[in-house]
């Protein structure tokens, strides 16, 4: 008896599965009587969204094929922009049900594709090892970081973007520190962009690799003008800059304003910028002012230029000067790049050679180095290699002098990144 029952259930399941597969693959199979799609198209017909068959009637008293149903859904999709919210929901539901048939008809279910991609999750897990020698001291960094960068579509122009970082010291195996690095609304229009919230610095990112709580507006395409303003955190957990970190114990907040003009066309780009920071931290910053006056501001002028000779080789540089500081007031870098690792393509690689001169009070938050080497000058060589899809290995070596006392400064750096 049990054997017979099991056999019957197995046969029923097999027939049901085959019927479902056949219906999904055969556009000319009938839509079963009582299927919710009939009520949906009846409602759309009653609301005037669709007209049914070519003679202007909808024959709701007879079964139709999936192909015929898809034809009516396609007509409804063509009028979706003028439909009510309730009808739009019905259209999206029908389009999801008959996506294969619509695709065969050459109708892209763009709204479904857009809705499915409204929330995206990207991120990485990385391990970083760095050994530094500066100011006569050795310092080793051994860190795991987990980063999430979700984004959500608000409408066709606006997205919400964020970044969450969780870091832990691999040497101590302690608890992780989780911080919200970014959270901002991003509005994109034909030739201008606006960002509001806790956003990445928009001007001179290599010298100001940090966040700003405020807003930014950019206008233009090839020639782009950007202005931003808000609050910047000068604290130890936000900047890789010894002298500024030391002073930020007095006041880690800075009112910040910046404006920049950037031109990019084909192989060439160049730009100029101005940054104004106001904070009491500069009043107590070591050697910031030595002429008897104390400034509570930084006024930093910047310039940059880059030329790409071909798809493999590029040469670029940047310069910055803080006219309010008496010492460590200049920063600059020149870099020659060859190719570059592409996370999606296994076996791709790149290399670079650069000369860095990073005065603490001009390069406020440089992206190039870790904290103990922010006030240094010297040569840096690096390479990166995609060892497997979405897995990138980075290596670099820096050798130079500390700007404060000309003592030897060096760094050995390694990082493995797993992207998702």
Q: What would the pLDDT profile of 370-402 be if each residue is shown by its tens digit? A: 545 778 999 999 999 999 999 999 999 999 998
Confidence of residue 95 (pLDDT cuts 50, 70, 90): confident
Q: Final residue of a domain: which of 116, 150, 167?
A: 116
pLDDT of 169 above 50: yes
Q: Please count the CA atoms within 13 angstroms of the CA of 99 that sit on its side-chain side.
A: 9
Q: What integer pLDDT is reported at residue 29 of this predicted model? A: 65
pLDDT of 237 above 70: no
Q: What integer pLDDT is reported at residue 249 of this predicted model? A: 72
Q: Final residue of a domain: which of 76, 98, 116?
A: 116
Query: Which residue, 328, 361, 161, is CA-closest to 254?
Result: 361
Where is pLDDT greater, at 161 or 54?
161
3-state secondary structure of 320: strand
Q: What would the pLDDT profile of 156-168 be if each residue is shown by its tens digit? A: 899 999 999 999 9
Residues 236 and 372 in one domain: yes
CATH number at residue 406: 2.40.160.10
Tokens of 174: 């302690």
3-state secondary structure of 14: helix
Number of structural domains in the chain: 2
Token pair 């709204």 in the structure block, residue: 111
pLDDT of 147 above 60: yes
pLDDT of 14 above 50: no
Where is pLDDT greater, at 24 or 244?
244
Q: What integer pLDDT is reported at residue 328 of this predicted model? A: 92
Q: What integer pLDDT is reported at residue 152 of this predicted model? A: 92
CA 373 to chain CA mean position, Å = 27
Residues 87 and 127 in one domain: no
Length of the chain equals: 420
pLDDT of 350 above 90: yes
Average pLDDT for the chain: 83
Residues 180 and 299 in one domain: yes
3-state secondary structure of 33: coil
Residues 94 and 126 in one domain: no
Residues 100 and 169 in one domain: no
d(CA 279, CA 238): 15
Q: What would the pLDDT profile of 267-287 be if each residue is shown by its tens digit? A: 999 999 999 999 988 888 888
Residues 184 and 49 in one domain: no
Strands (E), 170-322: 177-188, 192-200, 211-220, 223-233, 253-265, 268-278, 297-308, 313-322
Tokens of 35: 């299927």
3-state secondary structure of 234: coil
Residues 66 and 182 in one domain: no
pLDDT of 233 above 80: yes
Specify the DSSP class assigned to residue 208.
B
Residues 333 and 376 in one domain: yes
**Going by DSSP bridges, is the β-strand pair 297-308/223-233 parallel, antiparallel, or unpaired?**
unpaired
Residues 54 and 158 in one domain: no
**Going by DSSP bridges, is the β-strand pair 330-339/313-322 parallel, antiparallel, or unpaired?**
antiparallel
Q: What integer pLDDT is reported at residue 108 of this predicted model? A: 57
3-state helix, strand, coil in the chain (%, to 5): 20, 45, 30
pLDDT of 110 above 70: no
pLDDT of 59 above 70: no
**Going by DSSP bridges, is the β-strand pair 158-169/177-188 parallel, antiparallel, or unpaired?**
antiparallel
Query: pTM for the complete prediction?
Result: 0.71
Residues 408 and 295 in one domain: yes
What is the rounded average pLDDT of the residues 211-240? 89
DSSP, residue by residue, 128-173: EEEEEEETTEEEEEEEEEEEEEEEEE-SSSEEEEEEEEEEEETTTT
**Going by DSSP bridges, is the β-strand pair 313-322/177-188 parallel, antiparallel, or unpaired?**
unpaired
Q: What would the pLDDT profile of 309-319 be if each residue is shown by its tens digit? A: 999 999 999 99
Tokens of 109: 């279910």
pLDDT of 38 above 90: no
Residues 300 and 175 in one domain: yes
Residue-range definition of the domain harbouring residue 153: 120-419
Q: What would the pLDDT profile of 177-187 be if each residue is shown by its tens digit? A: 899 999 999 99
Please give the radius of gyration of the chain, using alpha carbons only, rounded to the nearest integer: 30
Q: Final residue of a domain: which of 116, 144, 178?
A: 116
Q: What integer pLDDT is reported at residue 284 of this predicted model? A: 85
Residues 340 and 355 in one domain: yes
């Amino acid at each position: 008896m049990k054997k017979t029952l099991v056999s019957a259930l197995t046969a029923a399941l097999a027939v049901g599965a085959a019927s479902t597969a056949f219906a999904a693959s055969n556009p000319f199979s009938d839509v079963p009587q009582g299927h919710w799609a009939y009520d949906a198209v009846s409602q759309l017909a009653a609301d005037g969204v669709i007209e049914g068959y070519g003679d202007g009637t909808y024959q709701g008293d007879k079964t139709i094929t999936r192909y015929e149903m898809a034809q009516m859904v396609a007509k409804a999709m063509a009028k979706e922009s003028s439909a009510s919210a309730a009808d739009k929901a019905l259209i999206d539901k029908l389009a999801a049900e008959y996506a294969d048939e619509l695709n065969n008809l050459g109708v892209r279910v763009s709204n479904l594709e857009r809705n499915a991609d409204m929330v995206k999750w990207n991120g990485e897990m990385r391990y970083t090892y760095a050994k530094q020698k500066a100011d006569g001291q050795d310092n080793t960094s051994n860190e795991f970081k987990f980063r999430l960068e979700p984004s959500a579509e608000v409408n066709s122009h606006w997205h919400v973007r964020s970044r969450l970082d969780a870091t832990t010291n691999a040497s101590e195996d302690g608890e992780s520190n989780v911080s919200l690095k970014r959270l901002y609304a991003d509005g994109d229009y034909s030739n201008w962009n606006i960002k509001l919230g806790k956003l990445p610095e928009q001007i001179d990112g290599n010298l100001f690799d940090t966040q700003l709580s405020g807003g930014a507006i950019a206008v233009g395409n090839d020639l782009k003008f950007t202005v931003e303003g808000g609050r910047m955190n000068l604290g130890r957990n936000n900047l890789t800059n010894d002298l500024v970190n030391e002073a930020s114990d007095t006041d880690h907040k800075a009112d910040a304003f910046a404006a920049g003009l950037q031109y990019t066309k084909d192989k060439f780009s160049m730009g100029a910028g101005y940054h104004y920071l106001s904070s009491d931290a500069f009043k107590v910053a070591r050697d910031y002012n030595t002429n008897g006056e104390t400034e509570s501001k930084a006024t930093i002028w910047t310039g940059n230029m880059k030329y790409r000779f071909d798809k493999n080789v590029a040469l670029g540089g940047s310069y910055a000067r803080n006219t309010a500081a008496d010492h460590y007031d200049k920063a600059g870098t020149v870099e020659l790049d060859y190719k570059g690792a592409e996370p999606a393509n296994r076996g791709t690689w790149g290399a670079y050679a650069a000369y860095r001169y990073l005065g603490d009070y001009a390069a406020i938050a440089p992206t190039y180095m870790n904290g103990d080497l922010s006030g240094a000058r010297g040569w840096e060589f690096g390479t990166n290699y995609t060892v497997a899809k979405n897995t990138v290995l980075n290596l670099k070596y820096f050798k130079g002098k500390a700007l404060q006392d000309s003592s030897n400064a060096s760094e050995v750096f390694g990082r493995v990144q797993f992207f998702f």
